[in-house]
A and B are shown apart, each in its own frame.
Chain A
Amino acid sequence: MKKTCFYLSLVSCAVVLTGCATKVREVPLDRSTATTRIEPQDIRRTVEKMVESLLVAPGVKEFVSNRRPVMDVEPMQNRTSQHVDMLSLTESVRMQLLRSGMFRFVDRSSTGTAAVDVERINQENQLGLVDTSKAVKAGQQTALDMYLAGTLSEIKNQTGRTTDQYYKFSMILKDLKTGEIVWADEQEIRKASTKPVIGW
């Protein structure tokens, strides 16, 4: 009887202790939706869809038919109440477009990039270490042909225990020379969650 009690308490102790341990594991990048907030998989899907839409746009065809136009991707604007790393999203868009090989890129829009370039050129030349005949002079950077801009907006509705969240990613590609919009598209995401009757 004593032995049985001992084994039982041993097993129950093991069960309790196992329950206390924090489980950490890698999960797929495209896991199912867990919250009504913007999640990594939403960003990944949106970026992929947007890039695909841009690459096959008829307006883009005119630009890429016989050359690789120079593009700048502006940091996208976040008009939602959530904190979303829009710079990271912008970089993902640029990365995927870069991989297509259809465009050339400059980075003028990221915070302080243009100023940093000027400062570096000046610094190099002022240090006196560089061969003056080979020194880079300001004013030789590639000119922009077009730029990409975008916004993320949201509409949130709450009815009783149900929260309905709507997000819209909008992007436009503009021809810098003519000011014409070459391509524009939007992707929508709608999520809903219902709180349990008893719960926190």
Chain B
Amino acid sequence: MKITKHIIAAAILASGVTGLSGCRNTSGTVVKTDHQTGSSSIIEENGRLAHRLDVVRTTYDEVNGLKRVHIELASNRSKRVRVDYRICWFDANGMELDPQTKTYRNLIVEGRDTVTVTGVANSAAAVSSKVRVRETSQAE
């Protein structure tokens, strides 16, 4: 009887572990920048990523009539951190511009290193940007 209980407990534990490992936390860090007012906000949705990577600075400029954003990211770990980031652009009405063409780009940040990611709007209608950073392991 005791052995049966142990087997059942082990089975429940195993299925629990399997279930949890199947779950992916696809949230990340989001940096929103309004290029007209200059206001910028950082939303950290993933505690693990927030602990590993800091958003140090957000700057923006304009080149050839197109908005450009620079996000400085700093690693808090001594090991290499692999992340993906995507930069989306929005017009004055808050509508996303060409959402299908914006892809997640991969980024390798060495231990304690600081890197700057840059994105350019491909339309003059863009007035605000959203940079989303996620851990590479979260990609399917």
Q: Which A residues fall within an 8 A CB radius of B? A: 27-32, 41, 44-45, 48-49, 51-52, 55-57, 60-61, 64, 95-96, 99-102
The one of B64, B68, B139 that contacts A28, using a Cβ cutoff of 8 Å? B139
Give chain B residues whose Cβ lies under 8 Å from the Cβ of A49: 105
What is the size, in residues, of chain B's interface with A at 8 Å between Cβ atoms?
Answer: 25
List residues of chain B with CB under 8 Å of any chain A CB: 63-66, 68, 84, 86, 98, 100-106, 118-120, 122-124, 136-137, 139-140
A61–B65 alpha-carbon span in the complex (Å): 9
- Asked if B139 contacts A99 (CB within 8 A), the reply is no
A96 B140 Cβ-Cβ under 8 A: no
Number of CB contacts from chain A to chain B under 8 A: 66
- Is there contact, CB below 8 Å, between A30 and B139? yes
Query: Residue among A49, A61, A64, A100 with the most chain B CB within 10 A?
Result: A100
Instruction: Report the 3 A-B pairs with minimum CB-CB distance, sorted nearest first.
Output: A30-B104, A32-B139, A56-B63
Partner pick for A96 among B86, B105, B122, CB 8 A cutoff: B122
For the residues of B in contact with A, the DSSP-based class is: mixed
A interface majority secondary structure: helix
Bound complex: CA A29 to CA B84 (Å) = 13
Judging by beta carbons under 8 Å apart, are A52 and B140 in contact?
A: no
B140 and A31 contacting across the interface, CB-CB below 8 Å: yes
With contacts A55-B122, A61-B64, A99-B123 known, is A48 near B136, CB below 8 A? no
List 30 A–B pairs whose Cβ atoms lie within 8 Å, in order of A's numbering.
A27-B140, A30-B84, A30-B103, A32-B137, A32-B139, A41-B103, A41-B104, A45-B105, A48-B103, A49-B105, A51-B122, A52-B118, A52-B119, A55-B64, A55-B66, A60-B64, A61-B63, A61-B64, A64-B64, A64-B65, A96-B101, A99-B101, A99-B122, A99-B123, A100-B123, A100-B124, A101-B123, A101-B124, A102-B64, A102-B65
Name the residue of chain B whose CB is nearest to the CB of A44. Answer: B103
Q: Which chain A positions have C-beta within 8 A of B105?
A: 45, 48-49
